[in-house]
Amino acid sequence: MVSIAYYDEDVAYAERFCDFVSRDQKLPFKVKLFTKDKALKKHFEKGGSDILLVASDSYSEDMEMIGAPEIIIFNGIKKVSCDPPHRRVYKYQAVNLIIDILLNYIADMGLVTVGDSAFSGKKAEIIGIYSPISRSGKTSLALTMGHLLSNDKEVLYINFEEFSGLNSLISEDYKSDLADLLYYYKQAREMLPVKLQAVVRKNHGMDYIPPIRYNEDLRNIKSEDWVGLINEIAGMEYDYIILDLSNMISDIFAVLEQCDYIYMPVCSDRISMFKLNAYEEYLFLTGRESILEKTNKIKIPMQDISNWQENYMEELVWGCMGEFVKKLLLEKEAG
């Protein structure tokens, strides 16, 4: 567990910030608040903390001599220039954004070990949503399922499409995405749990990883890296991981083999049936019948989305798609 000594003479703000941080038991760091410099100095004389987070309005050059292994400037009204320059985070923004930045800094510093992180000892159930047929409604199905399961379970949604449009659908911008997470899996795996917490966003109770923004990145990633990353995340705190899959993955079948259950939306027109038959024949020819054995082919109900605007997700969950997915989950639970 990473320890952060937080020094700020703005007591009201500092107490609110620490209260917010203390509510999240999954964070790999703890914050100890100091509002008097004498108490802070005594703290570091006795061993101190891994990081000193100091408000710029309370900063003095004495902080450089206090013995903190790392210093992060909590930028407020006062601007601080120091040598060497320290990492900084803007103080007056949403606390969840501050936490994300701190998590990224902690990962970059290499302070968290696997034992400190969010590995739970259990394995999440991996649900794949995939179809060889285009325009099958699989993303609507995957999002609805994720939101419904998140009512009482920990759920993570991952989108593997080339142009997902997810940021517009959920109306949220993001700085980090699935590519950043994969980088840490390959280069600094021990930092993956804390990096996951920094990258993940939440929508109506469901966690999701922002999809890769550049399709070249998606095309060039090896399937064994995807398999490794997915299984690594499955060993963390989630009950379900929902994979919204596409043929952009170099070997989609390697990923499908990792799934515990697969939903395959299909269409009944002739061309779609030809595509489905070709897909199934390929699996038989290549000895991958096990994928078919755990695949549930479904026909998604027609949806009237002509009046859907900003409440798209709510319409999915509470409309005919939501009712359809509830039945699917009941059937799955019943075996």
In this structure, the answer to whether residues 103 and 18 fall within a common structural domain is yes
Which of these ranges, 9-13, 56-60, 314-318, has the smallest mean pLDDT? 314-318
In a domain? residue 116: no
- pLDDT at position 135 is 75
Last residue of a domain, one of 52, 79, 111: 111
Q: Residue 98 pLDDT > 70, yes or no?
A: yes
Identity of the highest mean pLDDT range in 103-107, 114-118, 141-145: 141-145
In this structure, the answer to whether residues 208 and 296 fall within a common structural domain is yes
Tell me the pLDDT band of 70, cut-offs 50, 70 and 90.
very high
Tell me the pLDDT band of 81, cut-offs 50, 70 and 90.
confident
Per-residue pLDDT averaged across 23-29, rounded? Answer: 82
In this structure, the answer to whether residues 84 and 140 fall within a common structural domain is no
- pLDDT at position 117 is 47
In this structure, the answer to whether residues 149 and 48 fall within a common structural domain is no
Q: Residue 216 pLDDT > 50, yes or no?
A: yes
Last residue of a domain, one of 48, 81, 111: 111
In this structure, the answer to whether residues 180 and 329 fall within a common structural domain is yes
Average pLDDT, rounded, for the chain: 87
Question: Rounded to whole angstroms, how far apart are CA atoms 283 and 289?
Answer: 6
Q: Residue 85 pLDDT > 80, yes or no?
A: yes
SS (HEC) of the chain: CEEEEEECCCHHHHHHHHHHHHCCCCCCEEEEEECCHHHHHHHHHCCCCCEEEEEHHHCCHHHHHCCCCEEEEEECCCCCCCCCCCEEEECCCCHHHHHHHHHHHHHHHCCCCHHHCCCCCCCCEEEEECCCCCCCCHHHHHHHHHHHHCCCCCEEEEECCCCCCHHHHHCCCCCCCHHHHHHHHHHCHHHHHHHHHHHCEEECCEEEECCCCCHHHHHHCCHHHHHHHHHHHHCCCCCEEEEECCCCCCCHHHHHCCCCEEEEECCCCHHHHHHHHHHHHHHHHCCCHHHHHCEEEECCCCCCCCCCCCCHHHHHHHCHHHHHHHHHHHHHHHC
Last residue of a domain, one of 111, 136, 161: 111
> 173 near 210, Cβ under 8 Å?
no
In a domain? residue 318: yes
In a domain? residue 117: no
In this structure, the answer to whether residues 33 and 104 fall within a common structural domain is yes
In a domain? residue 253: yes
- pLDDT at position 115 is 47
| CATH number of the CATH domain containing 28 | 3.40.50.10850
In this structure, the answer to whether residues 92 and 235 fall within a common structural domain is no
Q: Residue 307 pLDDT > 70, yes or no?
A: no
- pLDDT at position 308 is 55
In this structure, the answer to whether residues 154 and 95 fall within a common structural domain is no
- pLDDT at position 163 is 77
In this structure, the answer to whether residues 289 and 152 fall within a common structural domain is yes
- pLDDT at position 310 is 63
Element holding 106 (H helix, E strand): helix 95-109
Q: Residue 320 pLDDT > 80, yes or no?
A: yes
Q: Residue 120 pLDDT > 60, yes or no?
A: no
Copy the structure tokens of residue 123. Answer: 């394995």
In a domain? residue 119: no
What digits encode the pLDDT tens for the residues 226-265? 999 999 999 888 999 999 998 888 899 999 999 999 999 9
- pLDDT at position 116 is 47
- pLDDT at position 305 is 59
Tell me the pLDDT band of 112, cut-offs 50, 70 and 90.
low
| CATH number of the CATH domain containing 174 | 3.40.50.300
Which residues on adjacent β-strands are paired with residue 51? Answer: 4, 70
In a domain? residue 274: yes
- pLDDT at position 306 is 57
Q: Total structural domains in the chain? A: 2
Per-residue pLDDT averaged across 137-162, rounded? Answer: 92
In this structure, the answer to whether residues 292 and 164 fall within a common structural domain is yes
Q: Residue 124 pLDDT > 90, yes or no?
A: yes
pLDDT greater at residue 136 or residue 279: 279
In this structure, the answer to whether residues 171 and 319 fall within a common structural domain is yes
- pLDDT at position 254 is 94
Which of these ranges, 48-52, 192-196, 243-247, has the smallest mean pLDDT? 192-196
In this structure, the answer to whether residues 174 and 100 fall within a common structural domain is no
Residue 209: CB atoms within 10 A of its CB come to 23
Per-residue pLDDT averaged across 17-39, rounded? Answer: 89
pLDDT greater at residue 214 or residue 19: 19
Q: Which domain holds residue 315?
A: 125-334
